[in-house]
Amino acid sequence: MPDITLTTDWSDKGYTTGQMKGLLVKRFPHARIFDITHGINPFDLNQAAFIVRSFYRAFPEGTVHIVCVLPHYDWKNEILFFEHDGHYFVGPNNGLFSIAFQNLKRAGSIGINYKKEFPVVLTLCNAVARIIKPDPEELELEVPINEKLGIQPVVSSDTIRAVVTYCDNFGNLTLNVSRSLFKRVVGDRNFKIFFKNHQPVRNLKTHYMEVPYGEILCRFNSSDHLEIAVNNFSATELLDLKVGDSVQIELR
């Protein structure tokens, strides 16, 4: 029985997570269910895609990842189920998965029947069942995976215009600049990272403790993206930076 993870924008104050877990336990009593987070900002596909892309490989291959953000995106809403990189994913066909992963084409699909009790969570559970206990007599409907363009950095020969895409619980700020992009564009050149009216950062660190308490640093975090942080303090508070703000990297 594969493990199942849950990533949603349902918060921890409502009943939807309880409905989802109850249906899963009824259908798959021997499955282990892991809450990744239910604190995705409401309807924020970019944040959800970033989190899913950052954690899924830490689980064993064959894990089923339920990702439910913005399920009511169209008149005809459907839940997808598909395999990618040895893992299985279940969630609304609203473009989130195209932001998280490249080169996705088609997936199995189940339409949400709003006349049923618990329509969204029931359809999510039914999609999991198609993965765990496929019925050879059940004809699968394959549909194109809806595409959305995530927030991309703007790259030129001497600049990278980045955006803050995620802020963690400690106030560390993740940019939409991956390690591979940074290496490809910057190479061996010198650089300056500018944000707001602060002095630019001219080099990267590996650990927070490489600088004194309260000092700014930039590093590649565990998601392999460029991060702005302040040792033992909240960067978002001290630097007045938030998700959506621009950061410019100048190259020489």
- Give the CATH number, domain containing residue 218: 2.40.30.90
The Cα–Cα gap between 110 and 91 comes to: 10
The answer to whether the beta carbons of residues 173 and 167 sit under 8 Å apart is yes
Same domain, 11 and 133: yes
Phi-psi region at 123: left, alpha or beta (left = phi > 0; alpha = psi -120 to 50)? alpha
Query: 149 in a domain, yes or no?
Result: no
- Residues 77-90 have pLDDT tens digits of 999 999 999 999 99
Structural domain ending residue among the three candidates 114, 144, 174: 144
Whether residue 194 sits in one domain with residue 132: no
163 and 67 in a single domain? The answer is no
pLDDT digits (tens, 9 = 90+) for 118-171: 999 999 999 999 999 877 666 667 899 999 888 889 999 899 999 999 999 999
- Do 140 and 158 sit in the same domain of this protein? no
Cβ burial, residue 135 (10 Å; 0-12/13-18/19+): exposed
Q: Is residue 42 part of a domain?
A: yes
Total tally of structural domains belonging to the chain: 2
- Asked if 12 and 110 sit in the same domain, the reply is yes
Say yes or no: 17 and 48 in one domain. Answer: yes
The answer to whether residues 169 and 114 belong to one domain is: no
Instruction: Output DSSP code: residue 62.
Output: T
Clarify whether residues 51 and 132 are in a common domain: yes
Distance (Å, rounded) from C-alpha 145 to C-alpha 158? 35
Amino acid 14: pLDDT? 86
Domain's final residue, options 144, 176, 207: 144
| 232 is a domain residue | yes
- The verdict on 97 and 159 lying in the same domain is no
Neighbours of 63 (CB within 10 A): 19
SS3 call for 43: coil
Looking up tokens 């590093």 gives 219
Kindly state whether residues 59 and 176 are assigned to the same domain: no
Q: Give residue for tokens 């660190």.
A: 205
In terms of pTM, does the model score above 0.85?
A: yes
Are residues 127 and 13 both part of a single domain?
yes
Instruction: Single out the residue in 85, 116, 144 at which a domain terminates.
Output: 144
116/152 Cα distance (integer angstroms): 39
Tell me which DSSP letter residue 226 carries. Answer: E
Answer yes or no: do 178 and 112 share one domain: no
**Which phi-psi region, left, alpha or beta, contains residue 214 (left: φ > 0; alpha: ψ -120 to 50)?**
left
Residue 82 structural domain: 4-144
For the chain, how big is the Rg over CA atoms in Å?
20
**Percentage with pLDDT > 70 across the chain:** 98
Q: What is the CATH number of the domain that holds 79?
A: 3.40.50.10790
> What confidence tens digit (pLDDT) does each residue in 21-73 have?
999 999 999 999 999 999 999 999 999 999 999 999 999 999 999 999 999 98
